[in-house]
Structure 1
Amino acid sequence: MPVAVAVESPLTDEFRSLIGELNTVLLALSPPEFCFHMTAEQMAEAATTVFVAREGSEAIGCGALRRHGDGIGEVKRMYTRPGHQGRGVGGLILTEIEALARREGLSRLVLETGHRHPAAWRVYERGGFCRCGPVLDYPDSPFSVFYEKPLTA
């Protein structure tokens, strides 16, 4: 069955379940003070657009675009359920995030991810992101890896 990615509300029980799973994964890999979660309520604010990947009616992954000043967009809350990993779902979500950022005229995408997330690194690197130093207001720490991608020439 094909995977479809669309903008959805983060204020559903189904989405809360997805980010609950993501939070559990992240807390198993990094100290809590270096897990930069957003709640569903924070994700429902106007500066953030949430994407959900579905296979049929089942939500199998998510990600979000959070807008900051100076033309910067941030990739947030990327997650694919374990039974669906390795099938390109993360790449599909990332493509939709980037497409929206480009339509809105953002000049750069950035993100912070954990130091023990090689599968996530592959998704970002395949999507054209390059490692960089700390972005936005994230602390420079051994628990974080930062990426960026310019969207304009």
Structure 2
Amino acid sequence: MDIRPGDLNDPRVIALLHEHLASLAPTAPKESRHALDLSGLRGPDIRFWCAWDGEALAGFGALKRLEATHAEVKSMRTAASHLRRGVAARLLAHMIDTTARDGITRLSLETGSMAFFAPAHQLYASFGFVPCPPFGDYRADPNSVFLTRTVDRP
């Protein structure tokens, strides 16, 4: 599996992003869904990667820089064809390594509180993320879980 900067003009990436956003629609009210759309992923404070298995798009993940030493994991998704094959773990490990090299010492995220997100909760816990209060522009929301972890410099 190869992880490299994502091309937000690639139709395969756009299709997986649309699938991602559509899958989130029934999980919570619109105001409680915080995944980035295509325009959001193009923001200057966003870094975006895709995981490729040969020519097949296996998944994607993004980081949003919040402050000089604080970043947020955003919009992670594994393609259905690659579920339970370690794609999300590889992407998350890549993002943690990247943040460490970039001098970021805190990595946080927001995800849903519903059963739909249980696999994500397990993944994040396995990488040392722990519950935290809302950060950045987030507010307390029963539909959200906020997690954080420190990042050690390499």
Q: Do the two structures share a fold, i.e. TM-score over 0.5?
A: yes
| Cα deviations by residue, 1:32-90 (Å, 9 ceiling, x for unpaired) | 11111322222123311111111111112111011111411100001112232111110
**Residues in 2 aligned to 1:41 and 1:13: alpha-carbon distance in whole angstroms:** 15
Alpha-carbon RMSD: 1.5
How many residue pairs get aligned? The number is: 151
**Residues in 1 aligned to 2:95 and 2:75: alpha-carbon distance in whole angstroms:** 12
8 A Cα contact 1:132 1:146, kept in partner: yes
Q: Runs of 5+ in structure 1 lacking a partner? A: none
Match of 1:151, as an amino acid?
Answer: V
**Residues in 2 aligned to 1:36 and 1:11: alpha-carbon distance in whole angstroms:** 22
Aligned mate of 1:41, from 16, 39, 58: 39
Q: Are 2:142 and 1:142 equivalent residues in the alignment?
A: yes
**Residues in 1 aligned to 2:109 and 2:9: alpha-carbon distance in whole angstroms:** 23
The sequence identity of aligned pairs, in percent, is: 28
**Residues in 1 aligned to 2:53 and 2:97: alpha-carbon distance in whole angstroms:** 21
So what's the TM-score if we normalise by structure 1? 0.92
Q: Are 2:54 and 1:56 equivalent residues in the alignment?
A: yes
**Residues in 2 aligned to 1:11 and 1:139: alpha-carbon distance in whole angstroms:** 32
**Residues in 1 aligned to 2:90 and 2:139: alpha-carbon distance in whole angstroms:** 29
Tell me the secondary structure at the aligned position of residue 68 of structure 1: strand
Q: Runs of 5+ in structure 2 lacking a partner? A: none
Q: Which portions of structure 1, spanning 4 or more consecutive aligned residues, are displaced by more than 6 angstroms?
A: none
